[in-house]
Structure 1
């Protein structure tokens, strides 16, 4: 089986579809386009592009192909168990990093291209990598990435939890992400109880109520001032379905989104 014939290939644990990235992963796009958004920047990944999505970040993405047969990718997960075992062998010295982006764009190198094509002999008939070779191929790719981008040492082998952050700034930046209150608490460096206590002290209401109101005010603005349709915005604002969005909107404003 050739790389170009794959629908998708995961090496290591599959990533969660949630917008919270729990483990680092490498993405190589065989065909298609993906738009990523990390709360600050938008990143476009096109056919032949590759990058690293960092753990402990919030990221939204959407595919530009409706036809799944035209959308093909290779994902290599660098989970914490694997990375700790890897660093026991190489013993990298880890310092602080100044890199804040959730999406990393490694320096282009033919070594990555060669790695992708080197996967072909390991595919089964079902188009997956034989599990016996997971760690071997992941180690090879990680060595390539670190050779070309040594500053990534401080990212891959930082096993700490997020530092305590300014809740007000963090929430005003990330309120559109559809993740649990527990995730928000973790990313601001707090226990759930401490997060709720600090949140209510700052915003004078519960996180759940604040999130709904913040998203709905933004929705009202986009519909009224930007002529957006509810169907265009409800997912981007963290609502799981259109009916829930419409119900919450009418409950808050007294009229439906279509009546704005």
Structure 2
């Protein structure tokens, strides 16, 4: 068992099953995992933002999030009800083992692979009983055995398959993730605080492959490309959108106003306050 606490968060983990509790302040985070995740909300509210699509979860709601996908999450309290939710993470070895033991002739055929990244699931007895059976372990801090955790993950797979047949080809796709277009990814995520290893992983590459592929699209090193992109977007926001410097520098991904001002003047010849 692992427990992490700070002013706003308590997270307890049991080998792939996570309980998260947040204070009345709530929390905003970027979700990105190399494995599929099943999320269930006990209390509060969770908003999952996937590009222009928003999925809102309230107490009793459940959602499936595909692996290798990056999105934003907002976890908030509602009135006196603090945020509390449980997540199940499905490692590929667990899914492979499950697949090897089922009768594959019973798997529905001719299911088109959906391009959806987040599925809000309908409430079923299988979903409800799975998550209600997990609460005693988190309420009492009594650690379940590895065998029980494994059984709960298997129960989660059965609950998913009975909930939506579109999840069959997603859960049992064991191919390595496709490479994501680098420019598209960077143009969509330039403002996020990511290092090169994280960008490589999120675009389905090793670090060496990422660096090699990046040379094909830019003469600049990746970090300098990011700074240039952030400064260009800052210029647009200052010049055309008439935003204030204090609002813009963090919005485009800088964490330090002094660093932003120095980089901006170096690129444009004037400080950002003169735009």
Q: Find the residue that maps to 2:217 and give its secondary structure.
A: helix
TM-score between both structures, scaled by the size of structure 1? 0.75
Deviation of 1:86 after TM superposition, in Å, equals: 2.1
Deviations 1:8-66 (A, max 9, x none): 66453367x76431222111122222333334533333333221222111122233349
Matched, 1:139 2:154: yes
Matched, 1:104 2:116: no
Q: Flag the 1:238–1:152 CA change in 2: closer, same or farther, 3 A.
A: farther
In 1, distance between residues paired with 2:78 and 2:267?
Answer: 34
Contact 1:170/1:188, CA 8 A, preserved across alignment: yes
Deviation of 1:112 after TM superposition, in Å, equals: 1.5
Matched, 1:12 2:5: no
Q: Find the residue that maps to 1:214 and give its secondary structure.
A: helix
In 1, distance between residues paired with 2:273 and 2:75?
Answer: 28
- Spell out the pairing of 1:121-140 with structure 2 (5 A cutoff): 121-123=136-138, 125-126=140-141, 130-132=144-146, 133-140=148-155
Ranges in structure 1 where 5+ consecutive residues have no aligned partner? 1-6
In 2, distance between residues paired with 1:146 and 1:62?
Answer: 27
Deviation of 1:253 after TM superposition, in Å, equals: 4.6
Q: Flag the 1:240–1:106 CA change in 2: closer, same or farther, 3 A.
A: farther
Give the alignment's Cα RMSD to 1 decimal.
Answer: 3.7
**Bigger RCO of structures 1 and 2 (CA < 8 A, at least 6 apart):** 1
Question: Aligned residue for 1:62?
Answer: 74
Ranges in structure 2 where 5+ consecutive residues have no aligned partner? 1-9, 19-28
Deviation of 1:147 after TM superposition, in Å, equals: 1.0
Contact 1:34/1:44, CA 8 A, preserved across alignment: yes
- Spell out the pairing of 1:30-109 with structure 2 (5 A cutoff): 30-65=42-77, 70-90=82-102, 92=104, 98-109=113-124
Q: Flag the 1:55–1:67 CA change in 2: closer, same or farther, 3 A.
A: farther
- Spell out the pairing of 1:180-191 with structure 2 (5 A cutoff): 180-191=195-206
Question: Aligned residue for 1:213?
Answer: 228
Higher strand share: 2
Q: Find the residue that maps to 1:37 and give its secondary structure.
A: strand
In 1, distance between residues paired with 2:248 and 2:125?
Answer: 40
Question: Aligned residue for 1:4?
Answer: none
Instruction: Work out which of the two has the higher radius of gyration on C-alpha atoms and give 1 or 2.
Output: 2
**Stretch moving more, 195-204 or 231-240:** 231-240
Question: Aligned residue for 1:171?
Answer: 186
TM-score between both structures, scaled by the size of structure 2? 0.71
Deviation of 1:90 after TM superposition, in Å, equals: 2.0
Contact 2:35/2:68, CA 8 A, preserved across alignment: yes
**Stretch moving more, 35-44 or 221-230:** 221-230
**How many residues are treated as equivalent by the alignment?**
252
In 2, distance between residues paired with 1:161 and 1:187?
Answer: 12
